[in-house]
Amino acid sequence: MILSDGLRTAATSVRLWFSPARIRAEGSTPDYRFSLANERTFLAWLRTGLALVGGGFAVDQFFPRLHSSLRASFTVVLLAGGALCALRAVNHWVRCERAMRRGEDLPVSRFPAALALAVGGLAVAVAVLALIGWTV
């Protein structure tokens, strides 16, 4: 039952990504400055996702001597992180817009902390491998 409720909520959320009219129908129109700030945050998340995708391609291209499975792992993690970041961007934008229209507190998320830890850990691993020239 809980799983089906979660799936229903997720499906509703994804439908809102493509239906701005449904978002506008909720609550009252917030100050445009807040909506525009929400949009700038969305765009910043998209830039972060693009940077992760670019990092994935860079690892693949600039570490040819790195063991192929390790290089592929780093590449896939960065590419998947970029995709996840882009999806999270639109989801967060919708959630914030709805909260503002309803006069609710903005939603909180652990995603920024998880993303920062993952990127930081991956960056340290790549830096160490680059410094020691690991080519196993």
Task: Report the pLDDT averaged over residues 73-94.
Answer: 93
**Sequence-ordered list of residues with C-beta below 8 angstroms from that of 82, at least 6 positions apart, any chain:** 49, 50, 51, 52, 53, 55, 56
Mean pLDDT of 115-127: 89
**What's the whole-model pTM score?**
0.80
Calculate the average pLDDT of the chain: 87
Is 75:107 a contact under the CB 8 Å cutoff? no
Residue 134: its pLDDT value, please?
A: 62
**CA–CA gap between residue 97 and residue 99 (Å, rounded):** 5
Q: Using the CB atoms, write b or e for 64-73: b if 16+ within 10 Å.
A: eebeeebbee
Is residue 2 over pLDDT 70?
no
Taking CA 77 as the corner, what is the angle to CA 81 and CA 118, rounded to the nearest 5 degrees?
Answer: 65
Residue 3 has pLDDT above 70, yes or no: no
Question: 104, 105, 108, 94: which is closest to 28 by C-alpha?
Answer: 104
Per-residue CA distances from 21 to 25, 39, 49, 93, 100 (Å): 6, 16, 26, 14, 15
